[in-house]
Amino acid sequence: MAHDPLHPTGKTIADVLDFARKRGCTMLDIRFMDLPGLWQHYTFPIRRLSVECFEEGFPFDGSSLRGWQKINESDMLALPDPATAFIDPFMKEPTLVLIANVVDPIERTPYPRDPRNIARRVETYLKSTGIGDTIFFGPEAEFFIFDNVRFSQGINHGYYYLDSKEGAWNTGAEEVGGNLAYKPRVKGGYFPVPPMDSLHDIRTEMLLTLGQLGMTPELHHHEVATGGQCELSIKFDTLTRAADNIMMYKYVVKNVSRAHGKTATFMPKPLFGDNGSGMHCHSSIWKDKKNTYAGDGYAGLSQTAIYAIGGILKHAHALCAITNPTTNSYHRLVPGYEAPVNLAYSGRNRSACVRIPLAGDSPAAKRFEYRIPDPSCNPYLAFAAITMASIDGIQNKIDPGKAMDKDLYDLPPEELKEIPQAPGSLEQSLRALEKDHAFLLKGDVFSQDVINEWISYKMKHEVDAMRFRPHPHEFELYFDI
């Protein structure tokens, strides 16, 4: 396949118009984000692309989107951001994509429930505090690639069935052409070469496609779990652009998988009894082109970074409602599967929820990694919330206590009980967010309306939806009572 860039080299409106003309684009696709975290889009003939459209925007109905407008105030306006332009690598017709910010069509003010607007507001707020002028995020989103996925839910049934040619459960299966074995064992998928790693070429195609879209690819590899768990790595970026990149990342992973007759999911815990998928988030705050997290303290961090960690640990329960926002998230956050359930920080130690990577002596590389988040989150909201917790820690000089350099998965019970744990359910996280969200409201980054809608939506459509339905495993436990 060709690997020509699918994005303009410049970021101005003129650059975008010239790029679309030279590449023969026939269609224009406008994308934006609903509140829970799925990309939405609508498409026009390319003649709608003009200098004026970046000011006038594109109208749409916001009442049918999850967590958005009421029907009596449904009209919204999408203003495309020229810096986000790229050509869709999967559409038959050459299609220019622009990610948009959503505004009120009357007031022309940023829509408070638009997740991308929230991400942009936190970047503005960071500058206003004087703490820094830029925060960088390097998210590491894991996912599964399956060959067959079936699920259904009704009044008299509820089931799911997943299959993968790589699944350890298929070592004895009859397969077309014969069973060729080489299937990663449970917890045995980390780094084996082909033929055990059967997804190498697919991941390479994904990584190269991300490069075409303007990201900087760094590596790809098979992940720990059997059944096709994978990870791609791309270079860090500023907060809003890092969230844009995650959305493009998910889009590419899903569509390349589909092109190969497979399907990908970013569910945190699709398989019982093996590792789930996380989205570890590396971050650092910079000011005047200097990394404020570099210093001579613990693991080479500054006091500023230590306070930021203090803010994250203090607000971890509330953060989980945003960074781990599904009921499925809490099937991953259990001991025994490398899940970061212990609310502590440590250097090089993956059993703590905040890890300081061994990144050499360069001040530019100093950062910490928050390991609790998972890829079911809305990245704009998750990165914004992590940043607000970090800022709160710095402003209030929150002490995270001593670092924990032991293997926290192997502590005796009397020591482990002294270490706070991540919430055990989405409902617990949402209740924590109800009580602890003042730090998110600073600078009008999150509004009280957004917090209320988030909690209400999640409780009604996810927590209660699960609570009201019998679980398939309950028949195993209770049918013969």
Check for a shared fold between 13-110 and 134-145+205-478. no
Whether residue 222 lies in the annotated active site: no
CA distances 234 to 60, 282, 478, Å, are 33, 12, 47
Of 140, 147, 374, 427, catalytic:
140
Of 81, 142, 166, 274, catalytic:
142
pTM of the model: 0.96
Rounded to whole angstroms, the Cα distance separating 109 from 453 reads 20
Note the pLDDT of residue 414. Answer: 82
∠ at Cα 241 (236, 245), nearest 5°?
75
Domain ranges of the chain: 13-110, 134-145+205-478
CA dihedral 403, 278, 189, 354 (to 10 degrees): -10
Distinct helix (H) and strand (E) counts, the chain = 15, 18
Of 163, 350, 436, 453, catalytic:
350
Of 55, 56, 61, 399, catalytic:
61
Of 31, 220, 367, 371, catalytic:
371
Of 29, 369, 392, 427, catalytic:
369
Q: What tokens does 239 get?
A: 């907060």
Whether residue 350 lies in the annotated active site: yes
Q: Look-up: residue for tokens 């996280």?
A: 429
Whether residue 434 lies in the annotated active site: no
Whether residue 474 lies in the annotated active site: no
Whether residue 371 lies in the annotated active site: yes
What is the CATH number assigned to the segment(s) 13-110? Answer: 3.10.20.70
Q: 27: helix, coil or strand?
A: strand
Whether residue 56 lies in the annotated active site: no
CATH 3.30.590.10 fits 134-145+205-478, yes or no: yes
Rounded to whole angstroms, the Cα distance separating 93 from 38 reads 23
Whether residue 231 lies in the annotated active site: yes
Note the pLDDT of residue 73. Answer: 63
Whether residue 166 lies in the annotated active site: no
Whether residue 123 lies in the annotated active site: no
Residues of the chain falling short of pLDDT 70: 1-2, 69-73, 336-337, 348-350, 409
